[in-house]
């Protein structure tokens, strides 16, 4: 078993899954509220953990299906137990090896892309499973500009690719995305970095043609 899968299996059992939901919930919710979801859509969460974002998205009236994938079997087991609607589906797999028929309107990932062996290859895969005009939202607290979080890799002792905001934008552009970024800050947060830097969201849109 690889170290990343083992770590997240442990987190599924020791309460860290719920802690991640609490820690990321405010900024992710703020960000998702800026997306209109005005038309019927399909949604994929890459590295879904216990499925909290999928459950949130499934509540949108225009959501037709919301799928969550995660390489941790124990996270997926939790997510299936917590399902709240028939729109939700959870699969234990990683994005690179996942074989899926059909394309998505939206793909989301929070704090998971930097664990992959190759961010470039992962972005190419995500680009390929998006519909023309579809969007990929990638959220991370772990980026070079946010100096307080750079030490996480040493604490975690697993593979974590640390990049700056500009490097993330470059990755997205090289994969073919029209790219912009947004930083969501927690102005009343108890951590200085949450107030000053916040969560970085890289937004990639697949060109319509």
CATH of residue 83's domain is 3.40.50.150
CB 126 within 8 A of CB 203: no
> Residue for token digits 């190419």?
124
**23 part of a folded domain:** no
**181 part of a folded domain:** yes
Distance spanning both ends of the chain, measured CA to CA: 41
Domain ranges, residue 165: 3-9+41-94+101-197
Give the pLDDT of residue 9: 87
pTM: 0.95
**16 part of a folded domain:** no
**34 part of a folded domain:** no
- Rounded to whole angstroms, how far apart are CA atoms 22 and 4? 21
* Residue of 20, 202, 8, 2 lying closest to 109 (CA atoms): 202
**143 part of a folded domain:** yes
Q: Is 37 left (phi over 0), alpha (psi -120 to 50) or beta?
A: left
Q: What is the number of structural domains in the chain?
A: 1
CB 198 within 8 A of CB 185: yes
Cβ contacts of residue 96 below 8 Å, gap of 6+? Answer: 116, 117, 121, 122, 125
**185 part of a folded domain:** yes
**150 part of a folded domain:** yes
**47 part of a folded domain:** yes
- Rounded to whole angstroms, how far apart are CA atoms 164 and 10? 29
- Rounded to whole angstroms, how far apart are CA atoms 146 and 96? 28
The full DSSP string for 55-89 is HHHHTSTTEEEEEEEES-HHHHHHHHHT--STTEE
Q: What is the pLDDT along the chain (209 residues), one digit of tens a residue?
A: 588 889 888 888 888 788 788 888 899 999 999 999 999 999 999 999 999 999 999 999 999 999 999 999 999 999 999 999 999 999 999 999 999 889 999 999 999 999 999 999 999 999 999 999 999 999 999 999 999 998 888 888 888 999 999 999 999 999 999 999 999 999 887 889 999 999 999 999 999 97
């Amino acid at each position: 078993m690889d170290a990343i899968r083992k770590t997240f299996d442990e987190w599924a059992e020791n309460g860290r899954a719920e802690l991640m939901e609490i820690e990321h919930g405010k900024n992710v919710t703020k960000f998702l509220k800026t997306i209109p979801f005005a038309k019927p859509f399909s949604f994929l969460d890459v590295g879904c953990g216990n499925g909290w974002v999928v459950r949130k998205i499934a509540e949108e009236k225009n959501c037709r299906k919301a799928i969550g994938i995660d390489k941790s079997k124990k996270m997926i087991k939790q997510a299936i137990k917590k399902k709240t609607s028939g729109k939700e589906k959870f699969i234990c797999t990683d994005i690179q090896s996942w074989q899926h028929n059909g394309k998505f309107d939206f793909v989301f990932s929070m704090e998971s892309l930097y664990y992959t062996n190759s961010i470039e290859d992962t972005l190419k895969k995500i680009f390929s499973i998006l519909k023309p005009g579809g969007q990929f939202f990638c959220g991370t607290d772990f980026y070079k500009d946010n100096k307080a979080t750079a030490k996480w890799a040493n604490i975690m002792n697993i593979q974590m690719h640390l990049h700056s905001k500009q490097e993330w934008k470059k990755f997205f552009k090289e994969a073919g995305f029209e790219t912009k970024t947004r930083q969501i800050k927690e102005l009343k947060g108890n951590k200085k970095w949450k107030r000053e830097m916040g969560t970085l969201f890289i937004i990639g849109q697949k060109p319509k043609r």
